[in-house]
Structure formats: structure tokens, C-alpha cells
Chains A and B, each alone.
Chain A
Amino acid sequence: MIDIELTLNGRPRRLAVDPRESLVDALRERARLTGAHVGCRTASCGACTVELDGNTVKSCCVLAAEADGRAVRTVENGAEPGELDDVQVAFAEAQGMQCGYCTPGMVVSVRNLLDRIADPDDDEITRGLAGNLCRCTGYVNILKAVRLVRDRRLGRV
């Protein structure tokens, strides 16, 4: 086991991890943040998406040890249980999910997209979420959810 120190959802955190262990396992098993999910372990599905130093990564393909000294932000984002941000509210209202297994990864990707591009068009939204697979929704309502939160932030609705 090795010790790593990271900023997790804005707070300093020390974790003892197996050097063979991926970041998603460390987050889920050691930090007990189970919002990030595992769908493939080959960087294909995006269910494990988190932010590492402000960039989205597939945390199944990042070693926990690589997060040492860096900042990780997950879907939980340090929020009080029961509190949702505007991205999450838009997903809920637009029915942008069914089983919800992909949803935390989607939310992380959307937060990151809107941090980078305040007014993304459909093409930019599609590129921003191209790494996140959803098997339930056909992406129709996910697109609606992203448009909704974008327009709310820009005061259009």
C-alpha cells in the first residue's frame, strides 16, 4: 500500500491505495464515493468520468497513484446529500436518464463542457459527451437537458 495526498472535491484528503489500483476503485472503495461507476475498465463507456486537475478523465484507466498531489472532482462535488446543482436539476427535469448508471459521468462531462464553453451548440455538446455512453436514453433527453441548463445559465429561459 502507498499513501497519496490529493484535493478531493475541494478538500485535502489522504488515501492509502494499492499501487495496482485504478483511481475509480480508490474513489469507490477507499473514499467511499460511489457516484463514479464502472462499465468497462477500457476507457470506452465514460461511466467512471471524473475531473483531474480540471480535465475530464476516465478514472478506470488512471492509476490511483497518479492522482497524488492533484485535484479530483467527482459527481458528488462535496454537495450536501439531497442537494443538486443546476446541471443535475436539468437532467432530472428533462428525464435525461433512465437507469442512471451513466448519469454521474454525464454530469461531470457536462459541468466540464459548460466551464469551457458557456454557449455550446448541439455539435459542441455532442463532442463534449462523445466519450460517455448511455444504453437507455438514446441521448435524446440528454441533449435536451444540456440545452436546458445552458439556456438557464444564459438567462434564455
Chain B
Amino acid sequence: MYIGERVEGRNNRLVVAGAGTYVDDVRPEGCLVLAILRSPHPHARIRRIDVTAAEGRDDVELVLTGESLLAAGIAIPPSGSYANFTPRMTVKHPLAVGKVRYVGEPVAAVVAHDLVGARAALDALMVDYEVLPSVGNALLALEPGAPRVEDEWPDNVMVEYPFEKGDPAAVLGATEPSRIRRGTLVCNRIASTPLEGRGLVADYDPHRRYLTCWASTQSPHILRTLLAGALDLPDSSIRVIQPNVGGAFGGKIPMFPEDIVTAHAAIVLKRPVKWIEQRHEYLPAGGHSRDVRCDYEVAFAADGRITALTTELIADIGAQSTFLGWLMAIVSAGCIPGSYKVDDVRVRLRCVVSNRGPWQAYRGYGKEVSAFFLERILDEVADAVGRPRDEVRERNFLTPDVFPYEQPSGWITDSGDYSGTLAKVKDLIGWEGFAARKAAARAGGRRLGIGIGHELTPEGSSRPDSLLSGTDSATVKMSPHGDVTVLTGVTSPGTGNETGIAQIVADCLGASLDRVRVVQGDTELCPHGNGNYSSRSLTFGGSSAHLAALVVHDKIRRVGASMLDVAPGEVRLDGHRVIAPSGAEVGFGAVAATIYRSPHARHMEGVEPGLEVTRTFKMDNVHHQPEKDGRYNQYPTWSFSTAACIVEVDEETGVVRIEKFALVHDSGMVVNPLLAEAQLHGAITQGIGASLYEEIRYDDAGLPQNLTLREYTLPGMRESVDIVLGHQSTPSPFTMMGMKGVGESGISAPAPAIASAIEDALSDLGVRLTEVPFTPARVWAAIQEAR
């Protein structure tokens, strides 16, 4: 058995040699370089773009503007439909037409012989802007008479999504004031920031009318279809190849305006063109996440049981005109109250456009926002009733017997044992007995605190009427020598699902792992699939490969048994051999040879020839027909984790140091613990980064304040934490082998756990932290306020 083994990632030896091929390492002969001129203004009308000086430069091959793309017929009309709400949409332009809405919005593009020349050509472009009044955040954008980001809309609200269960107003009205708390919580803006930027190399062959794109993308097939739509080409005229990807985390789900511009330039020039994003482009314009504010009201009983909860969410989705990231806010709303049983709930979300940069998916995909809000509210309730924070969670958790459980949003949670991960993480962190440690440290002048945070991570997003649907495909084929190749529709951004899929297929076939090769990320080689996002690569990609492998397995079994002169039911497949009860055996090579070389001979009688099988897996518990069964569910699997941490707070400076961090996760059956843990380490560290160090800041006019990694500070090794992991397995009843996604687990729980621990360290002062990240300035200010 390979499933459950700690198998090293298959790309490790390639990338550690420096021999990986990332998109910037792709260099077709004669490749030109494209660079983008971006808006320096949060909001401005474009009066005129003078391209003559740029076009006049010797090494410039092409200059493109919004108008020239429009003249070429390139504009992206609104598409997609939504189950429970109706967003206002606009036509999207890859290069701005008429006006710019955020700093960093693409305005024009130049194609030159190299990057130095392309940058010089950008300097030669003259844009005449009429600067417009701007709205630098959602609250300003909601003010009456605020400047409008979209001229055709009556205000800056893009979508409103309310839902209710029970009658929270009545419960709140009947609750005595001492059992009600109200407040505001804020999750500030962050960016996924993979170390490799976005990028695309496009090469057009005019003779064959065929466009080849190498893209640092998460979804080659989806990018192909979207590019074909934007460029008015047949899907079959485009090949998208995903080379090694230098991290993605949601930040490379297609499609981006620069993809269209680069591909169009290659078609116009009939030469290869490369666009590689630079960090100063990424930080303002590559897409952000979070930036949600929550005004809440909670009623509770004397024992800490929550009796009613209302939340008003305002999501600052920036200028929505380019990306689909705003759907993250819907997920934030839909995951309230998540792991907690609250019978009377009201949630109202407003997605508000502003002159900040657009959103783009990031690991957590909105669930980290609901986790932060809910956990902060739970802590506040615990303090209000004077009960321990763990006990109040226990009091409110959904219990394992209620699943499948319909959330107030209508989504259906598959399974869970939330008390289980809480109990285990308390052991790992040393919850009991911490009070004595804290007191001793305090006596020595140090402030230690302990905290917990719980997260719920619905995964495998399967949206209706969308290419991001609830299926994926795989081909399993065996060659005449018995070697196995798996082609998948899912892709890997470096997280190692190719390794996990090989383990699944090898086990299913009884094959040797080293004779199973996995090929991903090429639309001409691989069957249609959606790529990697929403932690779906093993639950969807692994399951489809398993389905295909079962068919191959069956054929090998029948032919092998015939060669051994026994019945198919009597043999077993193991170690790349078919083995009879007598111990007689025949290798897969000999069986495959028979299938290919002797299709008309005895062993193949009644057996369909060939050893190449494609299967598509569809999730069972996704529901898209509310008119038929009253159910709507886009998330098939719901992983969860509980984190606990111990922090030390310096009350003079507000600096927080994490002394110990533990997390117990439950993602059902784990295929490769080594790689699952590695992903958790990364997700937790990203969660810690967003809790203490990372924040995309804007001023009131919408000018970004972080243009380099010196201002947007990622955790480095000095900020890294010794992470202690624990596991629990509550298999999903709906997936193959009970798998659940793992890729997003661990990113949400750190912020509430750290907040809780900081408050505990300062408990005698009564400090409350309502806004993440907890930078030294914020912690220090909260201390001063409490004093």
C-alpha cells in the first residue's frame, strides 16, 4: 500500500537542482517582451494616450491601448449566473477604456526586444489623465453622494446577499441587555503573494492558426476556454501548457487582463511574446483578499450558549472590473455560523466597490473571515459569562450526530467532530496547567497568554453554471511494456498532488509506484479538468484517476487470470504482477504485451482491446436543483481544525512573539501525510503572517501604501514558528475513501487563536482586539485604550 505513506514529492529533485522550468524560463526562439503601463491614479478619466514616441523607438514592435483592443473586438461581457443573489456587472476591458478605477489598472502595453527596452518604452508613453474624486474604502464609498466607481450604477453596492433563519430580532428583543453584546470586527486586506509572479508566454503559428500559451496558471483548460472566448478563437486552436508554478494559493486562477493582452500581441505580431509580472505590479494590482468589516449583535444564555446572532458584513471588493475574487465575500457570509449551532441568525452582506485594487482568490477563500468573526464573538461571550473559552465553544459546537447539516445559508456540511479537535489541541499545547505557567512568568515580569481558534473549511467548490464545477477527469493508460501514465485535469502549483495521485493509482492497480508517471497541465495531453483550487486536487483528481484505474485493473485481472489459467476472482494484483493462489504469477509487462500484441488470441476473448481509460468524477453531494429537491450546496467536503497557541506580549512595544503553535486538523483520510503536513505548515505560516505582519494598506483616496516586499512584509525564517500538528480523521461519507481537501486547512485558525492569546496575556488590563493584523501599533494602542 502506498496510500498513507510519506512519499517525497516527485518534483523535489528537479526543482532543488534549479532545473525546474517556470514560465520565465520558457524562451521560444525570437521571444519578445511585453510590459504594461499601469494607472498611477485611483480614479481618473483617460483624455488621451500619445503613443508616437513609444512607437518610434527602434526596439518597439507594438503598442496597445484600451481603444486598440476595443477596435479589435476584445471586451469581456458579464457571464455566469448565481443562485441566491444578483450582482451588478460591467463589461471588462483588459486595458482601461474611458477611465481607470484603481492604482495599477492596466492602461497600455508595449512589446519590445527585452525587458530593459520595454521599460524604456513605457516611459515614453504619454497619458493625459483627468483626475476624478475617488473613494479609498468601502465606508467612504457608501456615503450618500460618494463618487461612483461604475458610472452606470446608481451607487457603489455591487451585490447584496441577505439570509435569515429563525427570528433573531425577536430573540434579541426578549433578551435582557446584560446578555447581549454588540461590536465591530475588521479583517484587513492581504495578498496571497506567491514568490513567483503571474506570467504568460504566447506563441502564434499563423499557418496553422494555432496559439500556444505557457502560463503560470492554476487551470490550463479554463484559461484556454476563457482565452478562446476573449480572442474569438476556437478552443481547439489554443493549447495552454502549465510549466512549473512558483506558488499560487488561489492567486493564479484564470483569467487575468494581462493574459489576453499578451496572447493578442502574439497573434498580431506573429511572434512569441512574454509577459512576466514584476512585484511592484503584483502588490497593487495582482488581486487582494479579505477587507471585510462586521457589525454584530449576539445574545446568549448564562452558560454561554448563543441564542441569536446578527451580522452586517461590508466587503470592500475594490474595483471589481477585472477579477472574480469578490465571490469570496459570499463564502464569508455563507459560513456563518459555521461550526456553531445557532437557531436564530441573520446575515446581510454588501459587496461594495471602491478605488482599491480588485480581489483575487486566496487560500481560505473567505472562510478565514467568518472564522475570525465567529471566534472573536465566542471569546467575547465567554468573557461576558465568565466561563472558559474552550467550554463556551463546546457548548455551541454542532455535535457529530447532526450531519449532514444544513447551514442557515443552505449549504450542507458533510460531517464533523469539532469537540474532538479541540480536545486534542488542548493536550498538544498544554492547556491544563498553563495558568500556573502564566502566573510564574508574570511574577518574572513577562506576559504570556494562551488562546484557541477553530476553523471550518468547506472545500471542493462546485459552482453552478461555471467552468469551476464539481467534476474532474483523468486518463490512466498502460503501455505495451506495462508502464503506467496518468493524465489529469487537475494541476499542481507545487503542493504535490501528482505524488498523491500516483499513490492512489498505484494502489488501485497493484502497480509499483516507480512505474506510474503523472502528467498534468497541458490541454493537448490531459483530459478536460478544472485544475487546482478549493483544495480539490485529490478529492476530484484522485477520485477520477481511481475510477479510470479501476477499469484498467479489471482488464489486467481478467487477462492475467486467463494467462495463469485461473478465474479472475482468484488472482490478486500486487507489485506490478498478477498472482494466482498457487503463487504462480505473471508480470504486468507480459499481460500488457498480450493485450496489445494478441488482441485476437485466446486470453483476449470477450475483452475490449486497449489499455487507455478516461473517467470523469462527479461529486455526489453537490446540489444545484433547488426547484427539484429544495437543496443548494456547492461545497461537498468540510474539513476543520482547531489551533491553540501561546504568545508573549511586550506591553511596552506591543510586539507579539509566538512561543508555541499547535493545530489539530481533520481532513478525512490522508493520502500522503508528509505532503499534507507540509501544506499545513505553509498554510499556518500564511495565517500567522496575516495575523501579525501582512496588510495591504490604502489611504483615503485609494493610493496603495505597499509597493514592495519591504512594506508588505512576509514572514521570514526569523518569524517562523515551531508548529506542532495533530490529526483526527472523520472520513467524508460522500467521497472516495473518505478524502477531504487539505490545501486550505490551517490558514483561518491562527488569527483568532493569536488574538485570543494576546488578550489572555493582557487579561488583567481587559484588552480587546477587534482588527486583524495585530501589528505592534494596534496592540500597543489597544493596551493604551484599556488603561
**Interface residue ranges, A against B (CB under 8 Å):** 18, 20-21, 25, 28-29, 33-42, 44-45, 47, 74-76, 79, 81-84, 88, 91-93, 95-104, 107, 125-127, 129-143
B72 at the interface (CB under 8 A from A): no
Given A99-B15, A129-B717, are A137 and B678 also a contact pair (CB < 8 Å)? Answer: yes
> Is the CB–CB distance between A139 and B195 below 8 Å?
no
Selected from A35, A38, A42, A126, the residue in CB contact (under 8 A) with B709 is A42
Segment touching A, from B344-352, B488-496, B756-764: B488-496
Selected from B22, B493, B679, B721, the residue in CB contact (under 8 A) with A37 is B22
> Is the CB–CB distance between B19 and A99 below 8 Å?
no
- For the complex formed, measure the closest distance between the CB of B443 and the CB atoms of chain A, giving whole angstroms: 27
State in angstroms the CA–CA spacing of A92 and B19 once bound together: 13
Q: Could you say which residues of chain B place their CB within 8 Å of the CB of A99?
A: 15, 194-196, 244-248, 493-495
Known: A99-B495, A134-B195, A139-B685. 20 other contacts (CB 8 A): A21-B116, A28-B25, A35-B17, A39-B246, A40-B709, A42-B709, A88-B13, A91-B12, A91-B16, A95-B8, A97-B9, A99-B195, A99-B245, A100-B14, A100-B494, A131-B716, A136-B495, A137-B682, A138-B686, A143-B720
Selected from A37, A45, A135, the residue in CB contact (under 8 A) with B682 is A135
B684 at the interface (CB under 8 A from A): yes
> Is the CB–CB distance between B717 and A100 below 8 Å?
no
The 8 closest A-B pairs by CB, nearest first: A35-B18, A100-B15, A99-B494, A101-B246, A138-B685, A138-B681, A44-B709, A139-B720
B319 at the interface (CB under 8 A from A): no
Selected from B22, B249, B683, B710, the residue in CB contact (under 8 A) with A101 is B22
Query: Which of A42, A45, A101: most chain B CB closer than 10 A?
Result: A101
- For the complex formed, measure the closest distance between the CB of A84 and the CB atoms of chain B, giving whole angstroms: 6
Selected from B9, B710, B717, the residue in CB contact (under 8 A) with A139 is B717
Selected from A88, A102, A141, the residue in CB contact (under 8 A) with B681 is A141
> Is the CB–CB distance between A34 and B25 below 8 Å?
yes
Q: Could you say which residues of chain A place their CB within 8 Å of the CB of B114?
A: 18, 29
State in angstroms the CA–CA spacing of A134 and B683 once bound together: 12
Query: Which of B246, B249, B278, B674: most chain A CB closer than 10 A?
Result: B246
Given A37-B22, A92-B12, are A135 and B279 also a contact pair (CB < 8 Å)? Answer: no
- For the complex formed, measure the closest distance between the CB of A7 and the CB atoms of chain B, giving whole angstroms: 19
Q: Which residue of B lies closest to A35 (CB)?
A: B18
State in angstroms the CA–CA spacing of A47 and B194 once bound together: 12
State in angstroms the CA–CA spacing of A134 and B18 once bound together: 15
> Is the CB–CB distance between B685 and A133 below 8 Å?
no
- For the complex formed, measure the closest distance between the CB of A38 and the CB atoms of chain B, giving whole angstroms: 7
Interface residues of A: mostly helix, strand, loop or mixed?
loop
> Is the CB–CB distance between B18 and A104 below 8 Å?
yes
> Is the CB–CB distance between A34 and B679 below 8 Å?
no
Q: Could you say which residues of chain B place their CB within 8 Å of the CB of A75?
A: 17-18
Q: Could you say which residues of chain B place their CB within 8 Å of the CB of A92?
A: 8, 12-13, 16
State in angstroms the CA–CA spacing of A95 and B714 once bound together: 21
Given A25-B115, A42-B708, A138-B723, are A88 and B714 also a contact pair (CB < 8 Å)? Answer: no
Q: Could you say which residues of chain B place their CB within 8 Å of the CB of A81?
A: 17, 19
> Is the CB–CB distance between A101 and B682 below 8 Å?
no
> Is the CB–CB distance between A101 and B195 below 8 Å?
yes
Q: Could you say which residues of chain B place their CB within 8 Å of the CB of A34?
A: 18, 21-22, 24-25
Q: Which residue of A lies closest to B678 (CB)?
A: A95
Q: Could you say which residues of chain A place their CB within 8 Å of the CB of B194?
A: 99, 101, 135
B675 at the interface (CB under 8 A from A): yes
Given A25-B115, A138-B681, are A47 and B195 also a contact pair (CB < 8 Å)? Answer: yes
**Interface residue ranges, B against A (CB under 8 Å):** 8-9, 11-22, 24-25, 114-116, 193-197, 244-249, 276, 278-279, 493-496, 674-675, 678-679, 681-686, 708-710, 714, 716-718, 720-723
State in angstroms the CA–CA spacing of A45 and B713 once bound together: 10
State in angstroms the CA–CA spacing of A35 and B246 once bound together: 12
State in angstroms the CA–CA spacing of A103 and B13 once bound together: 11
Query: Which of A35, A84, A100: most chain B CB closer than 10 A?
Result: A100
Q: Could you say which residues of chain A place their CB within 8 Å of the CB of B11?
A: 100
> Is the CB–CB distance between A103 and B717 below 8 Å?
no
> Is the CB–CB distance between A100 and B244 below 8 Å?
yes
> Is the CB–CB distance between B17 and A79 below 8 Å?
yes
Selected from B8, B13, B22, B195, the residue in CB contact (under 8 A) with A133 is B195
Q: Which residue of A lies closest to B282 (CB)?
A: A40
Q: Could you say which residues of chain A place their CB within 8 Å of the CB of B279?
A: 39-42, 44
State in angstroms the CA–CA spacing of A74 and B11 once bound together: 20
Selected from A102, A126, A138, the residue in CB contact (under 8 A) with B684 is A138
- For the complex formed, measure the closest distance between the CB of A128 and the CB atoms of chain B, giving whole angstroms: 9
- For the complex formed, measure the closest distance between the CB of B246 and the CB atoms of chain A, giving whole angstroms: 3
- For the complex formed, measure the closest distance between the CB of A94 and the CB atoms of chain B, giving whole angstroms: 9
- For the complex formed, measure the closest distance between the CB of B133 and the CB atoms of chain A, giving whole angstroms: 32
Given A42-B710, A95-B12, are A36 and B494 also a contact pair (CB < 8 Å)? Answer: no
Q: Could you say which residues of chain B place their CB within 8 Å of the CB of A138?
A: 681-686, 720-721, 723
- For the complex formed, measure the closest distance between the CB of A108 and the CB atoms of chain B, giving whole angstroms: 9
> Is the CB–CB distance between B716 and A133 below 8 Å?
yes
Q: Could you say which residues of chain A place their CB within 8 Å of the CB of B684?
A: 138
Q: Could you say which residues of chain B place their CB within 8 Å of the CB of A42?
A: 279, 708-710
Q: Could you say which residues of chain B place their CB within 8 Å of the CB of A125?
A: 717
Q: Which residue of B lies closest to A146 (CB)?
A: B717
State in angstroms the CA–CA spacing of A45 and B196 once bound together: 10
> Is the CB–CB distance between A102 and B685 below 8 Å?
no
> Is the CB–CB distance between B709 and A98 below 8 Å?
no
Q: Could you say which residues of chain B place their CB within 8 Å of the CB of A37?
A: 22, 24, 195-196, 246
Q: Which residue of B lies closest to A126 (CB)?
A: B717
Q: Which residue of A lies closest to B712 (CB)?
A: A44
Q: Which residue of A lies closest to B688 (CB)?
A: A138
Selected from A44, A126, A127, A136, the residue in CB contact (under 8 A) with B494 is A136
State in angstroms the CA–CA spacing of A75 and B14 once bound together: 12
> Is the CB–CB distance between B16 and A88 below 8 Å?
yes
State in angstroms the CA–CA spacing of A82 and B193 once bound together: 30
A sample of 11 cross-chain residue pairs with beta-carbon separation below 8 angstroms, ordered by A number, consists of A42-B708, A79-B17, A88-B13, A98-B496, A99-B194, A101-B194, A102-B195, A134-B195, A138-B681, A142-B717, A143-B720
State in angstroms the CA–CA spacing of A87 and B507 once bound together: 32
State in angstroms the CA–CA spacing of A29 and B194 once bound together: 22
- For the complex formed, measure the closest distance between the CB of B220 and the CB atoms of chain A, giving whole angstroms: 17
> Is the CB–CB distance between A98 and B22 below 8 Å?
no
Q: Which residue of A lies closest to B681 (CB)?
A: A138
State in angstroms the CA–CA spacing of A131 and B683 once bound together: 21
Q: Which residue of A lies closest to B495 (CB)?
A: A98
- For the complex formed, measure the closest distance between the CB of A89 and the CB atoms of chain B, giving whole angstroms: 8
Selected from A40, A98, A104, A135, the residue in CB contact (under 8 A) with B679 is A98
Q: Could you say which residues of chain A place their CB within 8 Å of the CB of B249?
A: 135
Given A25-B115, A135-B714, are A84 and B16 also a contact pair (CB < 8 Å)? Answer: yes
State in angstroms the CA–CA spacing of A126 and B197 once bound together: 25
Q: Which residue of B lies closest to A47 (CB)?
A: B195
State in angstroms the CA–CA spacing of A36 and B11 once bound together: 17
Q: Could you say which residues of chain B place their CB within 8 Å of the CB of A83?
A: 17
State in angstroms the CA–CA spacing of A131 and B709 once bound together: 12
- For the complex formed, measure the closest distance between the CB of B454 and the CB atoms of chain A, giving whole angstroms: 20
State in angstroms the CA–CA spacing of A20 and B493 once bound together: 33
> Is the CB–CB distance between A126 and B679 below 8 Å?
no
> Is the CB–CB distance between B716 and A130 below 8 Å?
yes
Q: Could you say which residues of chain B place their CB within 8 Å of the CB of A137?
A: 678, 681-682, 685
State in angstroms the CA–CA spacing of A141 and B714 once bound together: 18
